[in-house]
Amino acid sequence: MSTSSHRIVVLGAGYTGMMTASRLARRTRGDQGVRITLVNPSPRFTERLRMHQIAAGQELADFRITEVLDGTGIEFVEGRATAIDVEAREVEVSGAGRPLPYDTLVYALGSSTDTSLVPGAAEHAYTLNDPRTARTMALELAGLARQGGAVTVAGGGLTGIEAAAEIAESHPGLRVTLLSREVPGSMMGPKAQAYLLAALDRLGVTVRSGVTVGKVLPAGVELADGELLASDVTLWTAGVRVPRLAAESGIAVDAAGRILVDATLRSVSHPEIQAIGDAARVEQAWGTLHGTCQSGIPTAAYTADAIARRLRGRQVMPFRFGYIHQPVSLGRKDAVIQFTKPDEKPRRIWLKGRSAVFYKETVSASPVQTYKLTKKLAGAAVWPQGGRATKA
């Protein structure tokens, strides 16, 4: 493939889209015919890993996408991708005024919390999908904390655990309840899980495991068995869904809407499209990747390298990845880290307390610094958020 004229459009400037764009700009530096366009609805880079901190009332750094990518030559288009014409190879973007043509498309639109799972979740529960919603929740929690009240976090995954702990620590006057089908931390080893549960208890979080939410009400939660729980504020963290854009555009997807990809993360139906992160169904020898930054950012870095190699007519090896850890913050003063095998089964090694806090903060802070570093160093593959992978 010649680099005399090649248009690359990256949809989504989250963790994966930012990594692909910045790394690809460095990999193709000097190739005058390569043009990279990054599309995102917001001019601000959203730290999804820290959304629970915003909901608890904390302010985060304001990272502007154009500032992070300054000097890369990447064109930034603020807008939402509304349609993909796979025959004409064009993307319709709201507010752009014109369709964006592409030779290679990187689909990095990520995922969001699925509020369609139970009645009332979309209408009466907050999510951590958007920083504006999280800030609105923070204001309501601040007012509620002054008079005391009940907060319910539905979903005992890592997001729910971190949110419940953060809220309880920031607002000790609130009664925080975490609802979960399984015992929180069940993916960890017994020692790490016991530490996690003890930390939640110390923070005053009431854990209700083995329960299923049947309905979210304006002032409470109804469990599947009919039990009613009063709740002044409900946070929904259960379930994941991806945008319907790929399916609506005629791209081959699985039942969940994730793009089906080959071993090099190209769409099986449209090989000029690369899908990464939560938006792709990526199969490995040990199973299917699930949506985390730990696996998403490696798919992004790999894809940047793969595109650059194809532009030069070089061979691209299959993507390979294995998980290494499950880092969980328990407020600002505590954390637990479970190290894992590539298939995410727990190893014997784990961290707790201050060392775990330092580890978790290093992990959470690494993406933006990596994007800035990538502008200068293409280097060997370095994966923020952990993970093992091969170079493209």
Burial class for 5, CB neighbours closer than 10 Å (0-12, 13-18, 19+): exposed
Whether pLDDT at 363 is above 90: no
Q: Crossing angle of helices 353-374/15-27, nearest 10°? A: 40
Residue 390 pLDDT grade (very low, low, confident, very high; cuts 50, 70, 90): very low
The pLDDT, as a whole number, for residue 32 is 74
- Say if residue 5's pLDDT is above 50: yes
Tell me the pLDDT band of 377, cut-offs 50, 70 and 90.
low
Domains of the chain by residue range: 6-111+242-319, 121-236
Contacts of 112 (CB under 8 A, 6+ apart): 127, 129, 240, 241, 242
Residue 252 pLDDT > 70 = yes
- Determine contact, residues 199/210, Cβ cutoff 8 Å: no
Using pLDDT thresholds of 50, 70 and 90, give the confidence band for residue 115.
very high
For 269-315, write each residue's pLDDT tens digit. 999 999 999 999 999 999 999 878 889 999 999 999 999 999 999 99
Q: Across residues 321-348, what is the average pLDDT?
A: 96
d(CA 102, CA 96): 15
pLDDT exceeds cutoff 70 at 382: no
Beta carbons of 73 and 91 less than 8 angstroms apart:
no
The fourth-level CATH superfamily of domain 121-236 is FAD/NAD(P)-binding domain (3.50.50.60)
pTM to 2 decimal places: 0.91
Both tokens of 291, joined, read 């949506």
Q: What are phi and psi of 364, to 5 degrees?
A: -70, -30
Q: What is the pLDDT of residue 48?
A: 87
Name the pairing type of β-strands 90-93 and 81-85: antiparallel
The whole-number pLDDT of residue 106 equals: 98
CATH number of 6-111+242-319: 3.50.50.60
Question: What is the separation, in whole angstroms, between the first and last Cα of the chain?
Answer: 17
Q: What is the pLDDT of residue 365?
A: 75
CA distance 231 to 367: 35
Residue 374 predicted with pLDDT over 80? no
pLDDT of residue 1 exceeding 70, the answer is no
Alpha-helix runs per DSSP H in the chain: 15-27, 51-55, 65-68, 121-124, 131-147, 158-170, 190-202, 245-248, 293-311, 353-374
Angle between helices 158-170 and 190-202 (to 10 degrees): 30
Confirm if 19 and 300 have CB atoms less than 8 A apart: yes
110 and 118 Cβ atoms separated by less than 8 Å: no
pLDDT at 3: 45
Do the two domains 6-111+242-319 and 121-236 of this chain adopt the same fold? yes
Q: How large is the average pLDDT for residues 67-94?
A: 95
Gap between the Cα atoms of 293 and 157, Å rounded: 15
The pLDDT score that the predictor gives to residue 31 is 77
Residue 392's pLDDT band, with cuts at 50, 70 and 90, is: very low
Whether pLDDT at 87 is above 70: yes
pLDDT of residue 290: 87
Q: pLDDT digits over 19-73, tens only? A: 999 999 999 987 778 999 999 999 999 888 899 999 999 988 888 999 999 989 9
Alpha-carbon torsion angle 144, 148, 154, 156, nearest 10: 120
* 190-242 tens-digit pLDDT: 999 999 999 999 999 999 999 999 999 999 999 999 999 999 999 999 999 99
58: left (phi over 0), alpha (psi -120 to 50) or beta: beta
Residue 349 bridge partners (DSSP): none
